[in-house]
Amino acid sequence: MRKQVLSLIAAIGAIAALPAASQAAPQILGLIATATPLPLQCADGVCSVEVSGICLQENRPAPETGTAYKAVPGAAITLASRHDKGQSVAVADQVEIVSLRSFSAVSVRMPEPLVRDLVGDPADATLSIGQLVSALPVAVQGDPDPLTDAEIKMVTGPLRPVAARAAKSNTVNRHTTQTLIGMVNRLPADRTTTATQMTAMRDLADATLGQSPETAQRIAYALDRCAVKVRYQMYPHLRACLGNQHDLYNAVTTQSVWKALQPGS
């Protein structure tokens, strides 16, 4: 497992080292469909979830933290309440999408009053990402290399299912990232890491036993590593460390997508 993690670190390091075109529009992103609805966390009047992303354009620069994105029209992003099963509201045109950690994770956000208006108590609200969702960087005035209409149409159109199939091809990797992003969204972004939190995350990890022994092993290993790293203050909190573990595996997914999108693949 240690060799596997080291190879993952090398993979994400190689991706991060790719040269960036100065001030050029960053990559179009694909948002990974959620395995289960993710609970919103609200603070300072804003409710958000963290969602896995993949890069759909190897040739463009990766987004910096805080880069604003918008969902393509008609994207399957829905809001619901845990107390009103079966009822959901399409919100793709009402969410704000912001890059958190390059292309590996984005924050999908909505004003808390809007969440309350749409589904009731924000504490019970969940957000789901459907299939083939793409996100475009918000255009910046003076961009020397903006996205073209033809480029957007190709990447979010015929190439998007190709990327989705590649992202799904490694079942163990997909289940690992889905489990880790689920854990991240159930933890507070503060400096508390308690025994109760660790127990809750290990309980979530037990659910991976029904997927595959390898997935369960990866999740258990990530939790063990993070328990040590947080204890020695290598990360500010458990959420940050599990987010990093998610990104390592998600880098492998993006590499699979890039390979699938190459001409002749």
Percentage of the chain lying above the pLDDT 70 cut: 88
Q: Is residue 204 pLDDT above 80, yes or no? A: no
pLDDT digits (tens, 9 = 90+) for 52-84: 999 999 999 999 999 999 999 999 999 999 887
Burial class (CB in 10 A: 0-12, 13-18, 19+), 119: buried
Residue 105: what pLDDT?
A: 96
pLDDT digits (tens, 9 = 90+) for 217-228: 899 999 999 999
Of 117, 118, 123, 127, nearest in space to 96 by CA? 127
Read off the tokens for 158. Answer: 């015929």
Supply the pTM of this predicted model.
Answer: 0.86
The residue count for the chain: 265
pLDDT digits (tens, 9 = 90+) for 85-125: 668 999 999 999 999 999 999 999 999 999 999 999 999 99
Q: Which residues partner with 129 through β-bridges?
A: 77
Mean pLDDT of the region 186-191: 79
Burial class (CB in 10 A: 0-12, 13-18, 19+), 17: exposed
- Local structure of residue 124 (DSSP, 8 states): G
Report d(CA 201, CA 214) in Å as an integer: 17
pLDDT digits (tens, 9 = 90+) for 5-56: 444 444 444 444 444 444 789 999 999 999 889 999 999 999 999 999 999 9
At 49, the amino acid letter reads V
At 18, the amino acid letter reads L
Residue 209: what pLDDT?
A: 64
Helix (H, G, I), strand (E, B) or coil at 29: strand
Question: 201, 243 in Cβ contact below 8 A?
Answer: no
Residue 19: what pLDDT?
A: 41
Cα dihedral across residues 257, 205, 83, 116: positive or negative: negative
